[in-house]
A and B are shown apart, each in its own frame.
Chain A
């Protein structure tokens, strides 16, 4: 599962030889993220975000396990134990703020990772499976984050849970029984809180499992790259270690600077003040909004305000919201342009920067705003564009577009006509 010129792992010490014979774990690591994994030499910093997403997943699991030691999933005391963590547990405030902001940063890096995949068409053959697994991870992340936000049992926790589980109530005939079954009651209460806690603890490990599949699938064709031209020869690649361990290390440092600046100086900036009010089923907040990372999808949900034929508006919104992510599963078969990178696709590039990105920004803003004009009308136009972009524009552009000329190889793209820089000579790992 790699290129023929990949360096082979050779254990040197007797201990490592013993280990390699009995359980070749070092060999696995060496071939996965070590010198034994050749990677295109032209990856930009946009290829950092996969590693960063992995880092934040691990951070969430560590801080989450510590928080779970002090938290009690009982509607009577959940809010109070959260405050207990903030006030009485040594470094509890740090664990909780790191976990809450860690969720936001996990989504930030994953959104940038998806954005990279969309611009460089990383979903195209032979990498369809990596993309499909990535969408599965994203869906699991959304479920996990939603249930985690319910746990502090503040006002937004409670009402968010009520609104989101209420979406299932929109399904014809079986909707209401499903909603009651999911909540374990008619409204969010102890039963819902307990199962959300149980699943919130479980799902991150499911995510970790799918991440392993995601990386496994990645190592079969190898990473994509900014030119979209496949690796042809040894000089197109560099060993992952030390080149990309060093580059990812620097990227991680930058991400941590932003992360710690938020945790220590603006820990509540991404949260909602109402969640510092204990859940009260008798008092509805003025505006129920989800966490920022759900805003674009929340805007799509609320964009459908009028019944169409016999279909209620609420059901349309629910179908559109789930559909807006599910259509990502079909991208590899919708965009059939033979060129991957947006850099060489003039028409695709225009729709991407002047269509999709502005539509996403509009949806993001409208999702966080109250459901009133002009936000509703703006989100309707942006929603229409969103679906047109993926389902209509992408398939047609792939047919009619005349791509710009591609470089012959990655080596040529990086080194130009430099005669000095050929094959292996100058690219020995600087151990």
Chain B
């Protein structure tokens, strides 16, 4: 008994020790918080909430929109951004036929080896090739872009919080910083080679507005190519590149859930029947 009591005495002392040291940190921190100016954050905006056909549990791709977004990527973004996890053959999933994919792949030059000399060269792409990078390596990418390497776009919408809305908001959101913002946060003024965008976490980014005038891309389906429309369409396309299996996933989910629900109801009924024998009997 005395032995056990001493175990608990030691525990109580250790517990008080941990608590006191934690509270010591608290007191010092509270004093600092009371006497020092808190470091302010630059006020950036949450992404706007756009409507996309693939959202929600019943969502589906809007093939027309994906093709429009693909055209924006190909004519605008591809100049600087790679798409290295997507192969040309994947384009068949967004409504292009085999011939179109072959023709598109052949229009791109991919790294190859000269069969006669063995030297590095380029050759026309095949459907099995992946989208080629616009730069041979990161050093070249940095050199061409004021030291900011344009990120690969394959996973962009999954790599940012609320990614699809973020990409669309950012692309359509370039604007001059407001006078109030600059009055309050003079450090928010864009430096040389930077551009103001309220949706970017530190408000200034190295990417010049890529979509800058209405009609920059000519849509094949007659949709009016406003800046906002192009931004939304390319965001939708990048949602597809980030997760080409998204719709397959959601459509697989329903039968699975219905099956498990049915099995769970059966499990409940058999549990009820089995346990009836063990429950209190009514008099």
Interface residues of A (CB under 8 A from B): 41, 80, 83, 86-87, 93-94, 97, 238, 242-243, 246-247, 249-250, 252-254, 256-257, 260-261, 263-265, 267-268, 273-274, 276-277, 286, 303-306, 308, 313, 316, 320, 323, 327, 330, 333-334, 336, 372-373, 376-377, 380-381, 383-385, 387-388, 390-392, 395-396, 414-416, 418, 420-421, 426-430
Contacts and interface: CB of A to CB of B under 8 A. Distances in A.
Given A86-B243, A246-B275, A427-B278, A384 B22 contact: yes
A391 B257 contact: no
Contact of B21 (A273, A316, A333, A421): A316
Nearest to A313: B25
B245 interface: yes
Contact of B29 (A261, A373, A387): A373
Interface in B125-165: 151, 154-155, 158-161, 163
B280 A415 contact: yes
The CB with the most chain B CB atoms within 10 A, among A80, A87, A372, A414, is that of A87
B14 A250 contact: no
B253 to A, nearest CB: 3
Interface in B204-248: 242-245, 248
The CB with the most chain A CB atoms within 10 A, among B12, B21, B256, B267, is that of B21
9 contacts: A246-B275, A249-B270, A253-B263, A260-B253, A273-B159, A303-B25, A376-B29, A381-B22, A381-B23
Given A264-B254, A276-B158, A303-B22, 18 more contacts: A83-B85, A86-B243, A93-B248, A94-B252, A246-B271, A261-B253, A261-B257, A264-B252, A303-B25, A306-B24, A306-B25, A306-B28, A330-B7, A380-B22, A388-B15, A391-B11, A392-B15, A430-B273
B8 A395 contact: yes
Interface residues of B, number: 64
A254 B158 CA distance: 29
Interface of B: 4, 7-8, 11-12, 14-16, 18-26, 28-30, 33, 38-39, 57, 85, 90, 151, 154-155, 158-161, 163, 201, 242-245, 248-250, 252-254, 256-257, 260-261, 263-264, 267-268, 270-271, 273-278, 280-281, 283
A106 to B, nearest CB: 18
A308 B277 CA distance: 63
Given A373-B33, A414-B280, A416-B280, A249 B267 contact: yes
Contacts of B155: 83, 276-277
